[in-house]
Structures are given as C-alpha cells and as structure tokens.
Amino acid sequence: MKQKRIISLFLTGLAMLGLFLSNVANADSELFSPHRETPKAIAQVSEVQGCVEPTEVMRRQHMQFILHQRDETMHQGIRTTKHSLLECINCHVTYDENQQPVSYKDERHFCSTCHHYAAVHIDCFECHNSKPMESVVKPIPNNPDFISPIKFDSAKAMAEQTGQPAGETQP
C-alpha cells in the first residue's frame, strides 16, 4: 500500500520533469514565440555598423560564440576580437539619462533587456565588467555611436536592420 503511494509519487515527479524538459526543448513553440510583446533592446547595435554575425545567428548562437572564444582565450591565449565578450560590451552600449553607460543591473542594458524578460541569469557579469571600456566609446551626444534612449526610435532601427519598412512584424 505504502509502496504504491511512493511509486506513484515518483512517477508524478518524473512526469512533471518530462513536461518541463519538453517545454525547454520546444523553446520555439507557441508558448515562447514572439506573439507576445517581447522587449526590444534600446541599442540593438550601433547605428553605423552591423554585428559580427547576422542578427538571427547572434540571437540563437551568441552563447556558443562567446563560450568558444572564452575557452580559447583562457587556455590558449587567443585574444582575437571578433567573438570576444569585451567587444560585445564595447559595441552594444546603452546610455542612461545622464549619458552614462548602464550596467547589466539596469534593465535597459543590451544583454539584460532580453535576459531579464526570459529570466535567464547572465553569469558573465559576476566577473566581467558589463560597461564598455572608457577609452573605446565616450558618451558624447554627437558621437555617431551614441544613441540616446530618449531619442532612439526602435521601430526605425529595426527596420533599417532587417531591411523592412517600419511597422511590419518580423518574420
């Protein structure tokens, strides 16, 4: 009698785990699809240049790139810049009202906008600085790299980026 109860408890647990895992595996399923209003990063990329890989690739695979580079840098001392976290941070800068770069603790930070929404913890910034190197980008209003959060038109930027007229939803 008791044993049956324990076995059924165990089976229920397994079933719940399975359900959870299948949801994770189907991250593209309707539950996670962009039907809902997903948050947009304020500074998607610089206004004047693209990212190192196409946006769709970066969306899905940025972690693989960073991980690969991480191990190469750590163990082999390869410090190329294409897939380095440092360069992500130097390029994807969001400024606050005082024209200072925000850290990952701010929801407007490039990485945080999405990670915050998806509730995926970013371990990188436990050790790495989430703000750009001071020498790289200075918050000068007329600097082409500087995008004020107030002035920034996200729809326009998205359109430019994807090559579609503003207002249309993404494929």
Partner 1 sequence: MNQQHSAPDMQPESMQLGDHARRQFFLKVAGASAGLALVPGLVLQQVSAAKTADQPVSNKVRWGMLIDTSKCAQGCDDCVKSCNEANGLTSHGRPASDAQWMRKVTVKDKQTGKVTSLPMMCQHCEHPPCVDVCPTGASFKRDNGVVLVDKHICIGCRYCMMACPYKARSFVHETVENQKPHAPRGKGTVESCTFCVHKLDQGEQPVCAVGCSQEAILFGDLNDPESALSKRLKEVSSMQLRADMELNPGVRYQGL
Stretch of 11-19, 27-35, 46-54, 113-121 contacting partner 1, by CB under 8 A: 46-54
- Select from 136, 94, 85, 96 the least CA-distant residue to 114: 94
Binding test (CB under 8 A) with partner 1, winner from 22, 29, 33, 129:
129
8/129 with CB nearer partner 1: 129
Stretch of 26-34, 69-77, 94-102, 114-122 contacting partner 1, by CB under 8 A: 69-77
Shortest distance, position 126 Cβ to partner 1, whole Å: 4
| Residue 156 touching partner 1 (CB under 8 A) | no
Stretch of 10-18, 20-28, 35-43, 129-137 contacting partner 1, by CB under 8 A: 129-137
d(CA 152, CA 163): 18
- In the chain, the amino acid numbered 22 is S
| Residue 82 touching partner 1 (CB under 8 A) | yes
| Residue 66 touching partner 1 (CB under 8 A) | no
Footprint of partner 1 on this chain (CB under 8 A)? 46, 48-54, 70, 72-82, 86, 89, 103, 126-129, 131, 133, 135-137, 144-145
